[in-house]
Amino acid sequence: MVTENDNLLEIENLSIRYGKKPVLEGVSLKVRRHEIFGIIGPANAGKTSFLRAINRMDEFVPSMNVTGTIRFDGRDVQKLRNLYALRRGIGVVFPLPVGLPLSVYDNVALAPRLRGVRKQVELDEIVERCLRRAALWDEVKERLKTLGSLLSGGQQQRLTIARALSQDPQLLLLDEFSIAIDPVTTMRIEEVLKELRQEMTIILVTNLVQQARRLADRTAFFLAGRCIEINLTEELFTGTVQDLRSREYVEGRFG
């Protein structure tokens, strides 16, 4: 039996608009601690906006209006004044890499330094561990002083993943993380994500339904700004779905 304490994230009646345009309407769901929660659905379903609301990114978009309740680890996100503290607990990786104008090493070491890590040996261990988890260490271990922006697109995306992991987050938000990464590296990172479930909760937004099937414990299907169904992932793909549109989507009949 799942109790309230088992839920890291609780969403109630979440709606999002950009100006007068609605992109998400009345979404309610709960994400459990130490699970990989998948979100699938076609373009313009509201998936990315959903992630932005969790991390209070509406602060950066004046036209973005968020209503409803988002509770992260029991705290109402909309009422928190210390956004830095909130974002320390939530790592985010978006589809295209957003590198900082820093070296590879400093990109990953920034968050640990901000939370007070000063010993070089400790920073070195964090940087290596996070780069290994992002399947990047072997490619950059001789180039740690190189600007991150000089890496290839796929390497920069993996650097973004390493930087998110360096926050030691409770919740990791992944939005199409593999869009700029080759299939072999994607599979390596997927194996790491399965291991990270023991340490954190992961929300995985993906247009690759088979990726959700490989990774997610439960999966939500978003369509036209609404959460159509939430189910155990294998049930969504092989069992009796709650909504026929879910089956049609995972079978590739539209999208």
pLDDT value at position 81?
A: 83
pLDDT value at position 79?
A: 87
Tokens in use for 127?
Answer: 């940087």
Tens of pLDDT along the chain (255 residues) come to 455 579 999 999 999 999 999 999 999 999 999 999 999 999 999 999 999 999 998 888 889 999 999 999 999 998 888 888 788 899 999 887 776 789 999 999 999 998 899 999 999 999 999 999 999 999 999 999 999 999 988 899 899 999 999 999 999 999 998 887 889 889 989 998 999 999 999 999 999 999 999 999 999 999 999 999 999 999 999 888 888 899 899 988 876
What pTM was estimated for this model as a whole?
0.91
pLDDT value at position 59?
A: 80
pLDDT value at position 21?
A: 94
Dist CA 72 CA 62 (whole Å): 23
Where are the alpha helices (H) located in 55-206, listed in sequence order? 83-88, 104-114, 120-133, 137-140, 153-165, 183-196
With tokens 């000089």, the residue in question is: 150
Q: How many CB atoms are closer than 10 A to CB 151?
A: 21
Q: Specify the amino acid at residue 111.
A: A
Q: Among 11, 205, 153, 166, which Cα is nearest to 88's? A: 166
Q: Is the dihedral of CA 23, 94, 205, 153 positive or negative?
A: positive
pLDDT value at position 78?
A: 87
